[in-house]
């Protein structure tokens, strides 16, 4: 979390930094700050609690000039979100400034040592400690900034992506990373640095993804220099960005979340592109082709993920067990990594992550690898840490997701998992040819069915209006729709701050039923399938206690419609594919409720899109 951006070249840095910070605000928005060195050699730092827009207001009329600068948008870890704890942070002499994304775990002992040497600290942050240490080394060992950064980082434990500016060397920027992402854009006569490519793409498509424990020195008029912490010189590997500017702009929608909900017919299609040939009854997945033997022999699949991606894993559990007849465990990455889990060499561990940067999921991947399991990734961000750390896997190809609440990434993840499960079933011989072909056809039809559901937006908005004032909500589903209930509840609480719980419909009797009264909206996925009659009974149980039922039903449904207060009819599909379309009205519902309640949909309080701290 936290977004970092930096520029060095001939252009004015401030507008580039601000635009970049606005693009990175999804990573945190507790405070924002910039530092520029002007042509007179003055280092100007402006930082403010709140959003980038607050910083812009604050900085109006001040000296914002300079062709070298750094910027930061913060998700607070050490120290409350206030002006003092905002980045950039100064060194003791105030000659150096630094921005940082990540956590320096041993900052307390370093701080103690520096205090004994007379350093004084203004903030409670770990970042300030690191920049003091860098300066201490620079002064006492008489080294250049790049070497001082290298030496300091050899002393720290933790995760970081940092950029350092030195007032006395305005033609140089030093950047380094470990465990937090960092991209360097290479322009004609300038350099850009950012946490992801979105602040860079409109200036250059040539980028270098810095690897862990690498230190980059960017000097005006010179080539990019990279060394690792062992002082070995690294030849930069320049890649071409494939994202387009339009994909990271709102494109006429009020919010990124709404745009991303509406993108789903396209993004699901893109997740299947080149992989599913429905007419030929064929699924090909390049990223797992080398692991087919493992698929055939696997005794178990373990999914690891966090948040919405964890819900996609739960859908995966139903699919892999049903089609490929392989036992599946779904783990919160944060629990898995610290539990000393039993992992066998013939286990397949699948890590799912939109960002590919979630710290707990990345650590779970490393743990599983160290135990000899085959580890596959299902990531959205190409080239992300998890994608690189895994033995293979499949990208979801949903395109950049900017709204903090995940929508299109979820359906893309479920799409990829469905294809993987079917492919594995084929390899293991656990599915009949006719069932396999039927599911291939059904998958092919999903994008147009999502389009049909999106046409129900006005109806969903009316349902949202009728339920926007409730302070609690219950979401129920059975079978493969149970994870959809969890995801529906998560979407609502994330962006509208309504307390919501997802439950397996039958489990309601073991607790949540006590909460039901005429004030309590109960959202139920009650589509046709093996569990339909059972869900209808659960709905009756709610109605008997005067609860309000809002049901997602299959087109043409009569039974649920007769008792529910509101229904949304979605097109019929195979019952195992229902999550891909049943989640759409729940996403829209949360969106409208949040907008009606005046919430910041794209940047809900306290959350961040990419959680790079554990
Ligand atoms: C954060 C985001 C969620 C996301 C979760 C896991 O909590 O706000 O939207 O589901 O992290 O992120 P990942 O990038 O690993 O899917």
| 355 C-beta closer than 6 A to ligand 1 | yes
Q: Which atom of ligand 1 is nearest to the CA of 306?
A: 6
Q: Which atom of ligand 1 is nearest to the CA of 406?
A: 9
| Cα–Cα distances in angstroms (integers) from residue 471 to residues 141, 501, 567, in the given order | 60, 12, 21
Helices (H), 550-608: 559-563, 578-596
Q: What is the pLDDT of residue 363?
A: 94
| 358 C-beta closer than 6 A to ligand 1 | yes
Residue of 2, 313, 440, 599 marked catalytic? 2
| 406 C-beta closer than 6 A to ligand 1 | yes
Q: Which of 149, 130, 138, 49 shows the shortest CA–CA distance to 89?
A: 130
Across the 614 residues of the chain, what is the mean pLDDT of every consecutive 10-residue run?
A: 93 98 89 96 96 95 97 86 92 97 91 96 94 97 95 93 97 94 95 95 95 96 95 95 81 93 96 92 88 90 98 98 97 94 95 94 96 96 90 93 94 98 96 96 97 97 96 96 98 96 92 88 96 94 92 97 96 98 98 96 84 74
| 52 C-beta closer than 6 A to ligand 1 | no
Ramachandran class of 452: left when φ > 0, alpha when ψ lies in -120 to 50, beta otherwise: alpha
Q: What is the pLDDT of residue 76?
A: 82
Residue 440 annotated in active site: no
**Residue 463 three-state SS:** helix
Whether residue 305 contacts residue 409, with contact meaning beta carbons closer than 8 Å, is answered with: no
Ramachandran class of 598: left when φ > 0, alpha when ψ lies in -120 to 50, beta otherwise: left
Q: Which atom of ligand 1 is nearest to the CA of 494?
A: 8
Q: Which of 85, 214, 90 shows the shortest CA–CA distance to 153?
A: 214
Q: Which of 309, 517, 311, 301 shows the shortest CA–CA distance to 409?
A: 309
Residue of 49, 177, 178, 609 marked catalytic? 609
Q: What is the pLDDT of residue 343?
A: 95
CA of 333 to the centre of ligand 1 (A): 12
CA of 254 to the centre of ligand 1 (A): 22
Residue 11 annotated in active site: no
Give CA 573 to chain center in angstroms: 29
CA of 543 to the centre of ligand 1 (A): 35
- The first and second tokens of residue 167, run together, are 């007032």
- The first and second tokens of residue 255, run together, are 């919010």
Whether residue 584 contacts residue 450, with contact meaning beta carbons closer than 8 Å, is answered with: yes
- The first and second tokens of residue 110, run together, are 């370093």
| 506 C-beta closer than 6 A to ligand 1 | no
Q: What is the pLDDT of residue 281?
A: 87
| 361 C-beta closer than 6 A to ligand 1 | yes
Residue 445: Cβ-neighbour burial (10 angstroms; 0-12, 13-18, 19+): middle
| 334 C-beta closer than 6 A to ligand 1 | no
Q: Give dist(CA 305, CA 321) in Å, integer.
A: 18
| 309 C-beta closer than 6 A to ligand 1 | yes
Q: Which atom of ligand 1 is nearest to the CA of 381?
A: 14
Best residue for ligand 1 mutational test, from 256, 493, 610 (most atoms within 8 Å of Cβ): 610
Whether residue 150 contacts residue 215, with contact meaning beta carbons closer than 8 Å, is answered with: yes
| 49 C-beta closer than 6 A to ligand 1 | no
Residue 245: DSSP 8-state:
G
Q: Give dist(CA 477, CA 486) in Å, integer.
A: 9
Q: Give dist(CA 76, CA 134) in Å, integer.
A: 22
- The first and second tokens of residue 50, run together, are 């709140």
Q: Give dist(CA 160, CA 163) in Å, integer.
A: 10
CA of 358 to the centre of ligand 1 (A): 7
Q: Give dist(CA 245, CA 259) in Å, integer.
A: 15
- The first and second tokens of residue 232, run together, are 């070995």
Q: What is the pLDDT of residue 152?
A: 97
Give CA 129 to chain center in angstroms: 28
CA of 92 to the centre of ligand 1 (A): 37
Q: Please tell me the residue having the least CA distance from ligand 1 atom 4.
A: 307
Q: Give dist(CA 467, CA 154) in Å, integer.
A: 55
Q: What is the pLDDT of residue 509?
A: 85
Whether residue 546 contacts residue 518, with contact meaning beta carbons closer than 8 Å, is answered with: yes
Q: What is the pLDDT of residue 162?
A: 97
């Amino acid at each position: 979390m936290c977004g970092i951006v930096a520029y060095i070249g001939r252009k004015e840095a401030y507008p580039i930094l601000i635009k970049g910070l606005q693009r990175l605000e999804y990573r945190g928005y507790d405070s924002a700050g910039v530092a520029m060195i002007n042509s007179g050699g003055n280092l100007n730092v402006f930082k403010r609690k709140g959003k980038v827009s607050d910083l812009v207001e604050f900085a109006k009329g001040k000296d914002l000039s300079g062709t070298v600068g750094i910027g930061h948008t913060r998700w607070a870890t050490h120290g409350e979100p206030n002006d003092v704890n905002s980045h950039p942070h100064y060194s003791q002499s105030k000659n150096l400034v630094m921005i940082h994304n990540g956590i320096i775990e041993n900052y307390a002992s370093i701080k103690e040592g520096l205090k004994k040497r007379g350093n004084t600290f203004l903030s409670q942050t770990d970042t300030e400690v690191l920049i003091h240490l860098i300066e201490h080394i620079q002064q006492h060992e008489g080294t250049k900034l790049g070497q001082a950064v290298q030496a300091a980082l050899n002393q720290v434990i933790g995760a970081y992506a940092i950029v350092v500016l030195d007032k006395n060397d305005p033609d140089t920027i030093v950047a380094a990373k470990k465990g937090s992402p960092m991209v360097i854009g290479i322009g004609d006569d300038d350099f850009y640095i950012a946490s992801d490519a979105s602040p860079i793409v409109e200036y250059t498509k040539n980028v270098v993804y810095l690897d862990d424990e690498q230190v980059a020195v960017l000097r005006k008029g010179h080539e990019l220099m990279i060394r690792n912490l062992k002082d070995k010189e690294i030849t930069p590997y320049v890649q071409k960005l494939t994202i387009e500017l339009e994909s990271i702009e709102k494109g006429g929608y009020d919010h990124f979340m709404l745009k991303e909900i509406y993108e789903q017919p396209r993004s699901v299609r893109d997740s299947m592109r080149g992989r599913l040939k429905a007419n030929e009854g064929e699924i090909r997945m390049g990223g797992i082709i080398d692991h087919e033997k493992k698929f055939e022999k696997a005794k178990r699949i373990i999914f690891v993920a966090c948040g919405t991606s964890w819900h996609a894993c739960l859908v995966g559990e139903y699919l892999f067990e049903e089609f490929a007849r392989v036992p599946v465990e779904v783990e919160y990455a944060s629990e898995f990594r610290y539990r000393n889990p039993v992992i066998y060499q013939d286990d397949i561990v699948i890590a799912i992550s939109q960002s590919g940067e979630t710290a707990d999921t990345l650590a779970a991947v490393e743990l599983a690898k160290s135990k000899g399991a085959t580890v596959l990734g299902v990531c959205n961000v190409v080239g992300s840490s998890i994608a690189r750390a895994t033995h293979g896997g499949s990208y979801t190809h949903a395109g950049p997701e900017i709204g903090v609440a995940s929508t299109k990434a979820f359906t893309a993840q479920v799409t990829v998992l469905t294809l993987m499960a079917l492919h594995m079933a084929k390899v293991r011989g656990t599915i009949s040819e006719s069932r396999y072909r039927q599911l291939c056809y059904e998958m092919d039809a999903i994008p147009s069915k999502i389009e049909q559901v999106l046409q129900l937006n006005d109806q969903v908005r009316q349902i949202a209006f009728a339920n926007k004032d409730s302070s609690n909500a219950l979401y129920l589903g059975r079978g493969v729709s149970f994870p959809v209930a969890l995801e529906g509840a998560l979407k609502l609480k994330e962006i509208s701050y309504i307390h919501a719980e997802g439950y397996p419909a039958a489990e309601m009797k073991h607790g949540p039923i006590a909460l039901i009264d005429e004030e309590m909206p109960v959202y139920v996925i009650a589509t046709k399938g093996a569990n339909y009659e059972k869900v209808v009974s659960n709905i009756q149980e709610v109605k008997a206690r005067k609860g309000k039922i809002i049901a997602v039903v299959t087109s043409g449904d009569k039974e649920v419609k007769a008792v529910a207060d509101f229904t949304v009819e979605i097109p019929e599909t195979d019952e195992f594919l229902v999550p891909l379309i049943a989640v759409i009205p729940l996403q829209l519902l949360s969106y409208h409720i949040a907008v009606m309640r005046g919430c910041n949909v794209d940047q809900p309080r306290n959350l961040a899109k990419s959680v790079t701290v554990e």
